[in-house]
Amino acid sequence: GAVVSQHPSRVICKSGTSVKIECRSLDFQATTMFWYRQFPKQSLMLMATSNEGSKATYEQGVEKDKFLINHASLTLSTLTVTSAHPEDSSFYICSATARTGELFFGEGSRLTVL
Amino acid sequence: RKEVEQDPGPFNVPEGATVAFNCTYSNSASQSFFWYRQDCRKEPKLLMSVYSSGNEDGRFTAQLNRASQYISLLIRDSKLSDSATYLCVVSRMDSSYKLIFGSGTRLLVRP
């Protein structure tokens, strides 16, 4: 079974609304979580690195005020897409690193902004 | 230039065929290398790590050429279930856990 759970798996929202995606490590404490975005037929693009209790580190070109990341505990990171627009429609995937160094991916969240 | 480049394919092969995928990376300081498999609309899953000496896992063989900054994946005796997108992945020098993904090579295995 999945060791990293993402919720929701699919979400449809109206333009201008905000959407929150959760990423949970189910049976381990994640020292680091990563957020990726994947557009159709393209590679996963790293958006940000999230460390528990500290501010996320964003990749170049990713707006930190638009994509809010909170990593309040060792088992939960959230990505909030604020004021979503149709161009934000994408597949968002998180990954989590265990203390052993193993990396696990969430199942992904498909966002559609109308 | 993309940091990790792959031929997007698709590679359309019959069952039982041998197929090879190539990948090049631009950052010579890249430390770790992987092949991931991604099924349509699913998360990527680790297929195998790639070591300098080359490594094999059943029907899958991975090779790394650091001098040429080139990685390969060979699949022997292709199965229908091998149909997927294969992602070449490298990790950056600044963090062993930060992965950079290629755009993937799509494989279609036909009966």
pLDDT of B2: 82
- pLDDT above 70: percentage of residues in chain B: 95
Q: Which residue of B has its CA nearest to A108?
A: B43
Nearest CB partner across the interface for B43, out of A45, A49, A106: A106
Report chain A residues whose CB lies below 8 A from the CB of B27. Answer: none
Q: Is the pLDDT of residue A1 over 70?
A: no
Q: Quick check: A107 contacting B, CB < 8 Å?
A: yes
Q: Is the CB of A41 inside 8 Å of chain B's CB atoms?
A: yes
A-chain residues near B98 (CB < 8 A): 34, 46, 49
Res B27: pLDDT = 86
Query: What span, in angstroms and rounded, lies between the C-alpha atoms of B69 and A76?
Result: 36
Residue A79 structure tokens: 């990505």
**Long-range pairs for A69-74: beta carbons < 8 A, 24 or more residues apart:** A69/A35, A71/A33, A74/A25, A74/A29, A74/A30, A74/A31
How many contacts, defined by CB atoms under 8 Å, are there between A and B? 44
Which of A43, A50, A52 to mutate: most B Cβ within 10 Å?
Answer: A43
- Which of A99-103, B6-10, B15-19, B85-89 has the lowest average pLDDT? A99-103
> Are B97 and A41 inside 8 Å of each other by CB?
no
Beta-carbon count within 10 A of A44 CB: 28
For A42, A56, B36, B82, the CA distances from B76, given in Å and listed in that order, are 26, 42, 17, 10
Please give the C-alpha separations between residue B98 and each of A49, A94, A95, A112, B8, in angstroms, as whole numbers.
Answer: 8, 12, 10, 27, 23
Which residues, numbered 48 to 77 in chain B, qualify as contacts with chain A under a Cβ-Cβ cut-off of 8 Å? Answer: none
Residue B42 with chain A: CB contacts under 8 Å: 107-108
The answer to whether B39 faces chain A, any CB pair under 8 Å, is: no
Chain A interface includes B44 (CB < 8 A): yes
Interface check A112 vs B, CB under 8 A: no
More confident residue, B31 or B63: B63
Alpha-carbon gap: B5 to the closest alpha carbon of chain A (Å) = 10
Given a cut of 60, whether residue A55 has pLDDT beyond it is yes
Cα–Cα distance between A63 and A80 in angstroms, integer? 12
Q: Which residue has the higher pLDDT, B71 or A3?
A: B71
pLDDT digit string, tens, across residues B14-53: 999 999 999 999 988 888 899 999 998 888 998 998 988 8
Q: How large a percentage of chain A has pLDDT more than 90?
A: 61
Give the pLDDT score at B96.
47
Of A40-49, A98-107, B63-72, least confident by mean pLDDT is A98-107
pLDDT over threshold 60, residue B81 = yes
